[in-house]
Amino acid sequence: MNEEQKQAYHDKYLKAKQKSGLKFYPDVIYDDLLISFSLFVLLILLAVFIGVANEPKADPSDAAYIPRPEWYFLWLFQLLKYFPGQLEWVGTMVVPGLAVLVLFLLPFLDRNPNRHFSKRKIAIMVMTLIVIGMAALTIIGSVTTPPQVETGTTAASIGEKITAGADLYSVNCVECHGADGEGGVISGVKGLEGFKMKPINSHDEMYTRDDATLFDIINYGQPDLGMTPFGKGHGGQLSPGDIDAIVTYIRYTWDDRAQLPVEAKPAAAIPTLAPNEVPSYEVQISAVVKRYCISCHRAGKKNNNFIMDSYDDMMKTGDHAPNIIPKDLNSNLIRMINRQKIEAGNPMPPTKALPPELVDMFTRWVAAGAPNTAAEAAKLSAASGSATPGITTTPVITNTLPVTGTTPLTATLPVTGTISVTPMP
């Protein structure tokens, strides 16, 4: 740029300033603040109403995890693929450094005083090549990188963690520690058969162990006491998010100092029954099974091949199948949850009897025909509510089954007719 060009540019600037010039303060500052505040409000609205997708906690032990940056850094991630091994520093330092250097030197290399893009060919060409290169690398990286299948709990709120933790606890912990953390004599666990497990729901446990300690116990295990590690990094199956969910469930369930937030729905709550309501597997029974039974009655466990992880499995599996016969209160399951020792198995659950209201729930379910879905149960409930006059719709059935002790079976059942139960000799 020669002196004549400089003077012409300066004169043009002064003319434009006098005609419609704005002061940096307060005019330009005001515009900048207005735009910045608008973007800030937009970000708040996006965070509140759209949010960010939940992801599991980072798991350093997951060797199959494929690290991927956010989309705006994906081009650099793809660039590294062309500089493997010891050449990685070229992709991370040299190439980006040269690109930045070119941008830094561009005003010195291109001293064209014109501002219109048609007269800034060098600058436009350089920037276009850079943008095309970044876009191409981003597209290639997005297409060629396989999708990451992340496993583990992704719960964000306390309520979601408690719910997820209840499910995980029922599968991984109930077998030894009991559904309510009550402990007791362990049955059916290799290496711990007959061991008397102390309660973990006591003040002694909850008041003396913080969340980090509980996390470490689950993660690393206590091998000297017979507890194997459950964390993936130590040979187990639980991710950090899974363990965190179990710890949250334990804390808010058994520590009376922990106050559940009002907005958090109590976890693992088993739906209650109305006086004439027929329970269904879908709503009530599956919740009971998940909490008290599934820890033992799943594939790979010692359970007489009686699997309870679905309705069909409950109705069809087992060495003494069927263990559930609709409308038959002499079914194996009904007898075992009433603490009878029969050929099909021992009293269930083995360490502690089900609460009476849950025994009654199972009994009403079987007596009504063991409906699977809530819709099927609703039809039976509606039928019982409009029963023929003269037929008692909520009879009390007392059936003394063959027992090893003296446990009578009493249940209030909504029915549309007469249920007869014949005690076995």
* Residues 402 and 316 placed together within one structural domain of the fold: yes
Domain for residue 62, yes or no? Answer: no
Q: What is the pLDDT of residues 323-358, one digit of tens each?
A: 899 999 999 999 999 988 888 888 888 777 888 888
Residue ending a domain, among 147, 167, 186, is: 147
pLDDT over 90 (residue 44):
yes
pLDDT recorded at residue 122: 80
pLDDT recorded at residue 9: 80
pLDDT recorded at residue 7: 84
- Give the number of C-alpha atoms closer than 13 A to the C-alpha of residue 356, restricted to the C-beta side: 6
Cα–Cα separations (whole angstroms), residue 149 to 66, 123, 144: 9, 43, 15
* Residues 371 and 396 placed together within one structural domain of the fold: yes
Q: State mean pLDDT over 204-209.
A: 92
* Residues 87 and 42 placed together within one structural domain of the fold: no
* Residues 298 and 213 placed together within one structural domain of the fold: no
Domain for residue 265, yes or no? Answer: no
Domain for residue 259, yes or no? Answer: no
pLDDT recorded at residue 43: 94
Nearest Cα neighbor of 75 from 142, 169, 123 is 142
pLDDT over 90 (residue 32):
yes
- Give the number of C-alpha atoms closer than 13 A to the C-alpha of residue 336, restricted to the C-beta side: 18
Q: Which amino acid is at 285?
A: I
* Residues 243 and 327 placed together within one structural domain of the fold: no
* Residues 285 and 395 placed together within one structural domain of the fold: yes
Phi, psi of 170 (to 5 degrees): -65, -30
* Residues 164 and 143 placed together within one structural domain of the fold: no
Higher pLDDT, 20 or 251: 251
Answer whether 0.75 is exceeded by the pTM. no
pLDDT band at 118 (very low <50, low <70, confident <90, very high): confident
Q: How far apart are CA 299 and CA 264, in angstroms?
A: 33
Mean pLDDT (the chain, rounded) = 80
pLDDT recorded at residue 210: 92
Higher pLDDT, 301 or 11: 11
Residue ending a domain, among 109, 127, 147, is: 147
pLDDT over 90 (residue 35):
yes
* Residues 174 and 239 placed together within one structural domain of the fold: yes
CATH number of 221's domain: 1.10.760.10
Q: How far apart are CA 235 and CA 223, in angstroms?
A: 12
First-residue to last-residue Cα distance in the chain:
114
pLDDT over 80 (residue 402):
no
Q: By residue range, what is the domain housing residue 123?
A: 69-147
Q: How far apart are CA 206 and CA 208, in angstroms?
A: 6
* Residues 295 and 397 placed together within one structural domain of the fold: yes
At residue 152, the 3 state secondary structure works out as coil
Domain for residue 60, yes or no? Answer: no
Domain for residue 417, yes or no? Answer: no
Domain for residue 418, yes or no? Answer: no
Higher pLDDT, 154 or 82: 82
* Residues 313 and 388 placed together within one structural domain of the fold: yes
pLDDT recorded at residue 150: 64
* Residues 286 and 389 placed together within one structural domain of the fold: yes
* Residues 343 and 396 placed together within one structural domain of the fold: yes
Q: How many domains does the chain have?
A: 4
pLDDT band at 396 (very low <50, low <70, confident <90, very high): very low
Domain for residue 61, yes or no? Answer: no
Which residue is associated with the tokens 């033992």?
A: 296
Domain for residue 19, yes or no? Answer: yes
